[in-house]
Every structure is written in structure tokens, then in C-alpha cells.
Structure 1
């Protein structure tokens, strides 16, 4: 399963890279490569049964200090 994901992601990136290279879209090449790499890493971690944090955990980490500050200001 891992090899299927890696091969399909490599083929997809090569296809997109050729399309973007013809039009000289450098930013799009970088952006799509970064997103594809992040996606492949997340899929591999999921297949390896490594526990990943939920997006809610990140939101809590970001907004908890702001929430505490607002509570202190309003009380």
C-alpha cells in the first residue's frame, strides 16, 4: 500500500510539474509540491498507525491564551 501511494504521488507530481513548467508557474510548482509532500507524509503516518493530533488541538493551543486574556479583561 505504501508503494502505491508513493508511486502515485510521484507520477502526479511529475505530471503537474510538466504542466506548470511549460507555463513557467514557479510559485504553483513550489506550492503544489509542498502540499503534496505534506499530504503524503500524513497518509504514511496514518498507515503506520501513528496517532496524529486533530485540528481542534491546534486551534485550542492557538486560541486558549487569547481566551484567557479576554476573560481576565472582562472580569
Structure 2
């Protein structure tokens, strides 16, 4: 793993707790469960889309490569 990636990941890890605290501190106590759920759902969706984008970008160069005699197209 490169130093830049390690720094990036450490920064992301250190930002999640203050962000979650800020979200929960900004809503009334009676709505804390809903706010926590929305915060977690948004974080998870961000991870899903981030992984999907990374995977798409890493597979795109393989589009149209030949395997034996058959041409494969991973992304239509």
C-alpha cells in the first residue's frame, strides 16, 4: 500500500467519528435513532458506489481484450 493511500484511509477513519457526532448532536434526542440510521445508510451507500466506481475503472481497460479466439466484452 502506498503512503498516500495509507494517509487517505487514516484521514477517512479519523473523520467518521466526528462526522457521526456532528450529525447526532444536530438533531433532537427523540430523533437520534432516525438520524443515526440515515447517517449509517448514507455512509454505506457511499461505500457501495465507491467500490462500484473503482471496479468499473479497473475493468474498463480490459474491455475488448482477446482470450484465446473469443473476444470478451466485460462492460456493454
> What is the TM-score when the length of structure 2 is the normalising length?
0.43
Higher RCO structure (Cα 8 Å, ≥6 apart): 1
